[in-house]
Structure 1
Amino acid sequence: MDQQELLSLLALKKAPLIGDIMAKKLIRTFGSAAAVFEQPYREIAAIEGIGEKKAQFIKAKDLFQKAENELKFIEENKLKYRVYYNDDYPERLQYCVDGPIIFFENGNINWNNPYTLSIVGTRQITSQGSAFLEKFMADIAPLHPTIISGYAYGVDILAHKLSIEHGLQTVAVMAHGLNQTYPRNHAAHNNDVKKNGGFVTDFWSTDTFDRKNFLGRNRVIAGLSEATVVIESAEKGGSLVTADLASGYNREVFAVPGRVNDKYSSGCNSLIKQSKAHLLTTAADIPYILGWQQNEVAVQKQLFVELDKDERAIYTVLKEQEKELLDIIALQVHMPVHKVASLLMSMELKGVVKPLPGKLFMLT
């Protein structure tokens, strides 16, 4: 990219009160980020939503000096950057009206994985929540999804660690510049994350940790993913904000239910009760709702979790044969035909088998 355009993008990103939505409008109006800064003050101020005060910020003399300092940091640390109008910008984030005009990346991230999940939740994850997440990650791993989270305590860091354990790409979205790590003790995992994905942020190196940055961070988490999974949450919390953002981007949201009196199940239960999230009880719910194609290994691993003993017997017979008659299946599993017919109906509803003409059945 032309250096002047890059500097202009950085300057526009840092201009107070502008934001990504207005920055995109300015670029669209004048043709490029560099062209924005070439316009007379009055031309910029005349743009709807800008006005004189914001135009003054854009024309501030020190804006490009700050941009040059940040570009030096990017180059010295060999960071990658993604610009919203370029082909290497993540496709899902392009569909978000408030997606960053530019963000920064450290690691080795493949943005072409069609299966991408955000996993979020409370910083005070319970033993029950940890157990669910551990099993969920083990069961979803054969589909090789990219796992995105916020590198915070609790659900976030466990999702990243389990991703690494199962050989999955993981992306940590930070609420500050990439010259720091918060929480600091999570720096022990930095190298593993970079090897299995990486870190992203749209904050500068001069932006230190601040709670006010969470909303900006959460919009990127939600925007990068096909779906957001909430493991545990109190009645209020950042993970519910991420869920709302995901819903606003027309992405699917999943929530793990819990007991009505459990503090960190109340947020998830509320999402489900208000029809803001799909109820999530097993990893198999994800490909079923999202329509992901399961390979044979993934099917076998996940279905044996949700099929009962009799259904597994039928599954084994059909796995050995390309297709089989209802009567023959009943003989091989030593069950009455009417019972096998009922079980096959149940398995069809679960997406495991499909009927063929002539009372034949086969695995999907």
Structure 2
Amino acid sequence: MTTTDEERIYSIALTQIPGVGHIWAKKLVDGMGSATDVFRFRAELPDRLPEVNRRIVDVLDAPQALARAEEEYAFAVKNQIQCLTYNDEAYPSRLRECPDAPVVLFFKGNADLNAFRVINMVGTRNATDYGKQICIRFLQELHELCPEVLVVSGLAYGIDIHAHRAALANGFSTVGVLAHGLDRIYPSVHRKTAVDMLAHGGLLTEFLTGTEPDRFNFVSRNRIVAGMSDATIVVESAAKGGSLITAELAEGYQRECFAFPGHITDEYSQGCNQLIRDNKAMLIQSAEDLVKAMAWDAQSQPRKPDSVQRCLFLDLSEEEQRVVNLLDERGELHINTLVVETELPVHKMNALLFELEMKGVVRVLVGGVYQLLR
């Protein structure tokens, strides 16, 4: 659907309604089809969504929230910030699958948030030389194996900023997910890196301008880091820390989680070692480990020539056939469109497309677009 300015403003307003959290906001938009209709037809909400009570109808009568939303949208337009609503095609489709996905995101940059492969790298704010070297070596190796990966982190001290810088140094697009609005950079010492990221990735947040980088906001932003990624990679972590929360969220979203091991006596390897011990993360020692675990080494396998004709009697599963039918009917489609149209999770769609590619049924074009082979 084409998102209007009105829908963007109402989506922002919905985030400002007291007592309506992430999960309820998403339920309301899903149930009514748009944030605009949530407000416009609020009196009908209890009839259309039985879970809705009168209190929600009353709090949606909120001219102050609407005025604040109009002010925020004007700031976004003035500063060339994308306001991505839940129904926008550019909204991260992996995140859209999560029950607590934000109904609106603010993005400044040029990264494709629906890149074919997305990882996040997180860890302690007290990164050791060991952790810093892991970031550098891992992303150097990954660039040799899979140069088109989007690298996500939180622009925080420690592992986050070293992951962003190593990504930039190795030619990856990298996105920082912020715990505040796009009217500031926190910490301010990372401003130079943040500016560099605008040209080679970007900055993403759910928070409005004027938002302080409070502790709870960092926990909230972790769900975006985990939800928009195929895999979470914990580089270094103490026994407690925000990166362990991100790993927990990734597990809840049924995403892959990996951790680099460390010495049992090292304080900032305790969290990683615990994740591995408790089978909450797969032990990883190199980029090759990640690529194999995620089945991203398809490009190293011989592909069928483009000229191969599809067999009329290919043994396709029901889900594979749905993808083939859609490509046959609509032509070339981005993976994000395929996910939306088939209502299949991103990780399952990735697996299906890989199988279809190996069978010589489809081929991948630049930018995650798929084409049916005739």
Alignment partner of 1:89: what SS?
coil
**1:149 corresponds to which residue?**
153
> In the alignment, is the contact (CA less than 8 A) between 2:120 and 2:229 conserved in 1?
yes
- Report deviation, 1:216: 1.6
- Report deviation, 1:116: 1.1
**2:206 corresponds to which residue?**
202
**1:245 corresponds to which residue?**
249
**Amino acid of the structure 1 residue aligned with 2:68:** K
Structure 2 runs not aligned, ≥5 long: 301-374
Within 1, Cα distance between the matches of 2:100 and 2:110? 25
**Amino acid of the structure 1 residue aligned with 2:220:** G
- Structure 2 counterparts to residues 258-337 of structure 1, below 5 A: 258-293=262-297, 295=299
Does residue 215 (structure 1) correspond to residue 228 (structure 2)? The answer is no
> In the alignment, is the contact (CA less than 8 A) between 1:45 and 1:52 conserved in 2?
no
- Structure 2 counterparts to residues 1-364 of structure 1, below 5 A: 1-41=3-43, 43=45, 47=49, 50-142=52-144, 143-144=146-147, 145-293=149-297, 295=299
Q: Aligned residues: percent identity?
A: 38
> In the alignment, is the contact (CA less than 8 A) between 1:155 and 1:231 conserved in 2?
yes
Within 1, Cα distance between the matches of 2:41 and 2:112? 37
Of residues 40-49 and 177-186 in structure 1, the stretch that sits farther from structure 2 once superposed is: 40-49
> In the alignment, is the contact (CA less than 8 A) between 1:8 and 1:33 conserved in 2?
yes
- Report deviation, 1:63: 1.3
> In the alignment, is the contact (CA less than 8 A) between 1:258 and 1:268 conserved in 2?
yes
Within 1, Cα distance between the matches of 2:294 and 2:44? 49
Q: Deviations over 1:48-103 (max 9, x none)?
A: 55434443332123111111111111111111122222322222112111111110
* TM-score, length-scaled by structure 2: 0.75
Alignment partner of 2:196: what SS?
helix
Rg: which structure is higher? 1
Q: CA RMSD in A?
A: 2.0
* TM-score, length-scaled by structure 1: 0.77
Count residues in correspondence.
297
**Amino acid of the structure 2 residue aligned with 1:155:** I
- Report deviation, 1:31: 3.3
- Report deviation, 1:140: 0.8
Within 2, Cα distance between the matches of 1:264 and 1:48? 48
Of residues 245-254 and 8-17 in structure 1, the stretch that sits farther from structure 2 once superposed is: 8-17
Dislocated runs of 4+, deviation >4 Å: 40-50
- Report deviation, 1:111: 2.8
Within 2, Cα distance between the matches of 1:43 and 1:243? 36
